[in-house]
Amino acid sequence: MGKNSRKQRKPDVTTKGNGSSSKLMKKTSKPSNFLEKMKMRLSGGHFRMINEKLYTCSGREAFSYFRENPSLFNMYHSGYQAQMTQWPQQPVNEIIGWLQCGSPSLVVADFGCGDARLAKSVKNKVFSFDLVSNDPDVIACDMSKTGLDCACVDVAVFCLSLMGTNYQNYLIEAHRVLKSGGWLLIAEVKSRMDPKTGGADPEIFVKAVCDLGFTSALKDFSNKMFVLFHFNKRDGKNLKRKDIVWPELKPCIYKRR
């Protein structure tokens, strides 16, 4: 066969075309992924900033902070929910389960209710308190001053909400609104109750709550992420609250990225 009669090898258009298309798709998808990652990083950064603010200021200051910047509350809770999806167990579910096993006639005060998930999950009457209210069933307030009558609730709940520098005032308020024999349920980040990581000594914390007028009924450290405390209110007469030694609860400070 002559030189000119040889079949010319045609370029593999299909293969090259698919390869180029694939590369193009990868290139065009990168900006989308990058933007999503940046949005998540910015959202996470805002959450960490607000979270640290709440841990390192008083309840009154936090209430004023969100009253002046109500949009930050939604930003905070979006970040909070994102954090909670990474926990294998959520403490609010433990508290919901405890209430569901009891009488629906028990009246509950949820201090730092967030999206009021607890109230939406039980049959009990629940007073839901937080710094901002985006729900008609949530009462916006400084949690040291709920406005409830004395001895009007059966259960007081603090689910990851002992965040202010004056957290003891929240517990004093819970003691005031609880009936004699009522329950105080506390879920707290485990690192804040671990002296090995700079947290408070849990025994000192329990003693302080008992000195306020409670009896310790449960200390559960079995979960990797959080601890649970249950207390029962004693007769509150002749309490010397000024003599109570409250431990400092370590703020949850996040590393800068």
Could you give the number of structural domains in the chain? 2
Six token digits for residue 3: 């030189």
Q: What pLDDT is attached to residue 3?
A: 47
Is residue 232's pLDDT more than 90?
Answer: yes
Same domain, 67 and 140: no
pLDDT per residue as tens digits for the range 110-155: 999 988 999 999 999 999 999 888 889 999 999 999 999 999 999 9
* Residue from 73, 53, 57 nearest 131 by CA: 73
Q: What is the CATH number of the domain that holds 202?
A: 3.40.50.150
180 and 130 in one domain?
Answer: yes
The end-to-end CA distance of the chain, in Å, is 69
Alpha carbons 145 and 164: distance in angstroms, whole number: 14
Q: What are the respective helix, strand and coil percentages of the chain, to the nearest 5?
A: 45, 20, 35
- pTM for the model stands at 0.77
Q: Is residue 209 part of a domain?
A: yes
Range name among 14-18, 97-101, 175-179 with the lowest pLDDT average: 14-18
At residue 28, the 3 state secondary structure works out as helix
Residue type, 9: R
Q: Are 197 and 191 in contact (CB under 8 A)?
A: yes
The answer to the question of residue 256 being in a domain is: no
| Distance between CA atoms of residues 63 and 55, nearest Å | 13
Domain shared by 70 and 195, yes or no: no
- More confident site: 228 or 35: 228
Instruction: For residue range 188-213, list pLDDT tens digits in order.
Output: 999 999 998 889 999 999 999 999 99
Tell me how far apart the alpha carbons of residues 178 and 114 are, in angstroms, rounded to a whole number. 21
Return d(Cα 62, Cα 116) in angstroms, integer. 19
In the predicted structure, residue 20 carries a pLDDT above the cut 50: no
Q: Is 140 helix (H, G, I), strand (E, B) or coil?
A: strand
pLDDT band at 218 (very low <50, low <70, confident <90, very high): very high
Q: What angle do CA 232, 193, 254 make, to 5 degrees?
A: 130
Instruction: Compute, in degrees rounded to 10, the torsion defined by CA atoms 85, 47, 172, 241.
Output: 120
Owning domain of residue 49: 14-86
230 and 162 share a domain?
yes
CA dihedral (201, 202, 206, 209) positive or negative: positive
Instruction: State whether 62 and 138 are in the same domain.
Output: no
Is the same domain home to 111 and 62?
no
pLDDT at position 16 is 43
